[in-house]
Amino acid sequence: MTMRERLQALLKEAAEIVAKAKEGEGREFTEEEVTRINEIKSETDDLAAKVKAADDAQAAAAAMAGQAADRPKPQLSGVKDRREDGDATTLGGQFVKSALYQEFRKDNPTGLGEGSAVSIGRTRVGSLKEWMAGRKATSAPLQVGLGHVAPIRMPMVDQVDRDNLTILDLISRGESDGPFEYLQVTGVTRNAAVVKDEILPGDPSTDLKPTSTIQTELADAKPYTYADGYDVTNALLSNAPALATYMDNELEYSLDWVVEDKLLNGTGTNGNPKGILHTTGVQELTYTPGADAMAQVKAIRQAITKITTLPGGNVTAALMSPEDDEAWDLMQDANDRFFGQGPFGQGPNTSWGRARALSQRLAPGTVILGDWRQVALLDVEGLSILAFNQHKDYAQRNLVYVRAELRAMQVIWKPNRLIVVKPAEEEG
């Protein structure tokens, strides 16, 4: 019997003991059953660890075997690749190491002539997890440590390098095999209470056992292709080390832009996913702007209360435009002292203790805050790249169109855990 089969047999035995106890009208376990359950628990924990270790080893061996199989042959008709093996872990590195790109370079060892046809088919270069792994907030969603503020404020020069956060550093990430329907929680009414042990006929209705209600709306999670492209010269396309470096820089900018836009502004129509600003159930609070950002500051504090008074409500970050971020930094007291760190520091970069993240896709004056873990981007097919010059007059101009695509879907589990703070519309 294999370890996996032994593990399944033990789990089945434990289930049978539980079922036997339930048949006895929920009786407690006998002394012998308690002893046996503890033995099974110890043995299954040990087997589960061994099975996981075996699976990890098998996956690692398969990965190493795949890397060995994909490694380009050293003789490629004069083509020399000076990139280190470790660089293949980047997305640009994986593209230039792919079989399709290597075949292209083999066919064009001295570069491309004017008008040469270029068609490097779709090449999968990684998953959503791999693409996000190198981001400033690491591969996990925003953690508490990023928003931590020192309890003592003292004049100083802040030499800590802090990257600006974006919406992609705040949301959850995961995977999906395909489309599915789910219930968005748009509202919850909690009626939990202490009730009497015995409720007799004629007792007032307030004595009855309470019932909580959840307001939901059926939503579709569908895969969409987030794509963006950029132009490169034939010379850059033929230069593997330079191309990989260029792509590693451009991929983040190009795809971040379109993914962020659809997460916020997607209309849900004409082949677009539905973003936060068009999702039913997201709360809203308006304010009247003043001479500085103070009105917005107070409105955000009120919005925090609207979220935190919900059962389990939590505000992990506030997303605002660069213009609003500037207005916050320039706020001064009556003696012209900056409320924040001023021009000689980078902190605290928070809004009422919550991290401030920036988005160029938000209109100045509009801020979104709440529990950003309720927004998820789910990987469906990962990230792919293709290159071709059958585009406009690119073949004649020695240019190539390189397009990066991410097949994914966006989900907003609990819209009521988010709130949009924006200026009130002027009447008349």
Q: Rg (Cα) of the chain, in Å, rounded? A: 28
Does one domain contain both 294 and 388?
yes
Instruction: Tell me the two tokens of residue 221.
Output: 């999670």
Is 212 domain-assigned? no
Does one domain contain both 93 and 59?
no
CB distance 304 to 367 below 8 Å? no
Phi-psi region of 328 (alpha: psi -120 to 50; beta: other; left: phi over 0): alpha
The pLDDT value recorded for residue 367 is 97
Does one domain contain both 171 and 94?
yes
Does one domain contain both 296 and 354?
yes
Does one domain contain both 256 and 362?
yes
Domain residue limits at 47: 3-67
Residue-wise burial string across 163-198, b where 16 or more C-beta atoms lie within 10 A, e elsewhere: eebbbbbbbbbeebeeeeeeebbbebeeeeeeeeee
Does one domain contain both 350 and 387?
yes
Is 75 domain-assigned? no
Is 195 domain-assigned? no
Residue 202's Cβ-side half-sphere holds a number of Cα atoms within 13 Å equal to 0
Does one domain contain both 90 and 60?
no
Is 370 domain-assigned? yes
Phi-psi region of 351 (alpha: psi -120 to 50; beta: other; left: phi over 0): beta
Q: What is the model's pTM?
A: 0.63
Report how far apart, in Å, the C-alpha atoms of 66 and of each of 63, 70, 83, 98, 126 are.
5, 6, 19, 12, 14
Does one domain contain both 349 and 399?
yes
pLDDT by position in tens, the chain (length 428): 677 778 778 888 888 887 777 776 667 778 888 888 888 888 888 888 887 787 777 767 666 655 554 444 444 333 334 333 434 457 777 777 777 777 777 777 666 655 567 777 777 777 777 767 666 544 344 443 444 444 444 444 444 444 578 888 899 988 888 899 988 887 766 555 565 566 666 666 666 666 666 778 888 899 999 888 888 888 888 888 888 888 877 777 778 888 999 999 999 888 899 999 999 999 999 999 988 899 999 999 999 999 998 888 899 999 999 999 999 989 888 888 888 877 877 666 888 989 899 999 999 999 999 999 999 999 998 888 888 888 778 887 888 888 888 899 999 999 999 999 999 985 44
Nearest to 402 by CA among 420, 419, 385, 382: 385
Is 154 domain-assigned? no
Does one domain contain both 91 and 61?
no
How many C-beta neighbours within 10 Å does residue 110 have? 9
Residue that terminates a domain, selected from 11, 35, 67: 67
Does one domain contain both 90 and 10?
no
Looking up tokens 């380009």, which residue turns up? Answer: 72
The enclosing H or E element of 250 equals helix 240-265
Nearest to 321 by CA among 344, 293, 348, 280: 293
Does one domain contain both 131 and 12?
no
427: domain CATH number? 3.30.2320.10
How many domains is the chain built from?
A: 2
Is 213 domain-assigned? no
Residue-wise burial string across 388-400, b where 16 or more C-beta atoms lie within 10 A, e elsewhere: bbeeeebbeebbb
Amino acid at 262: K
Is 21 domain-assigned? yes
Amino acid at 256: D
